[in-house]
Amino acid sequence: MEDFRIEELKILEETYSGAIPELKFNSAFELLIAVILSAQCTDKRVNIVTAELFPIANTPEKILQLGQTKLEEIIRPCGYFRAKAKHIILTSEKILSEYGGEVPADFDELIKLPGVGRKTANVVTSVAFKNPAIAVDTHVFRIANRTKIAEGSTPLEVELGLQKIIPKEKWSAAHHWLIWHGRLICSSRSPKCKDCPLNNICPSSNV
């Protein structure tokens, strides 16, 4: 069982080596806000929105100066804009009051921020602070289960399964392999199995 999973990971690493996040950001705070906005929204749309937002509000202080009403107006295209704006305002307040204006690097502190769950905390931990982490979004969850690299009924089960089979030093990179494979090949509907580099060994291949 494990041999084919390791082979799948090797192929994914070769195929997507050097893959980086699609979200555009210039600081840990910008990344945090972008990931909060990305819930139920594509990274491409988030980048369009943050291209308008970040030039005028890319720090906790500037977010609070902007205010919730204007923030909602700008981030409306991302969907769930009222809830996301509320979380961003509360998170900005908490970062200022409890963390000296800096995004905390510690995972356990990150998940204390309003609107920040395991996925968001893992992305920030991994991408902004270069600490090994595997964030399980819808793509990672789907690919891990379809390929049987790590099966689970919840994102946490998949995250723990991936941590067991992937060497810790490759956790962050593997997160991007799985995401890009989900975006480019193994889509939710009508996956491109004929074009998939895993089609000879993937248990779910329809080739």
* Cβ(101)–Cβ(59) below 8 Å: yes
Task: Characterize 171-195 residue by residue with b for buried, 16 or more Cβ atoms within 10 angstroms of its Cβ, and e for exposed.
Answer: bbbbbbbbbbbbeebbeeeebeeee
3 classed as catalytic = no
Q: What is the 3-state secondary structure (H, E, C) of the chain?
A: CHHHHHHHHHHHHHHHCCCCCCCCCCCHHHHHHHHHHCCCCCHHHHHHHHHHHCCCCCCHHHHHHHCHHHHHHHHHHHCCHHHHHHHHHHHHHHHHHHCCCCCCCCHHHHCCCCCCCHHHHHHHHHHHCCCCCCCCCHHHHHHHHHHCCCCCCCHHHHHHHHHHHCCHHHHHHHHHHHHHHHHHCCCCCCCCHHHCCCCCCCCCCCC
Catalytic residue among 119, 148, 170, 195: 119
Catalytic residue among 24, 62, 137, 168: 137
Tokens 């969907």, located at residue: 79
137 classed as catalytic = yes
Catalytic residues: 119, 137
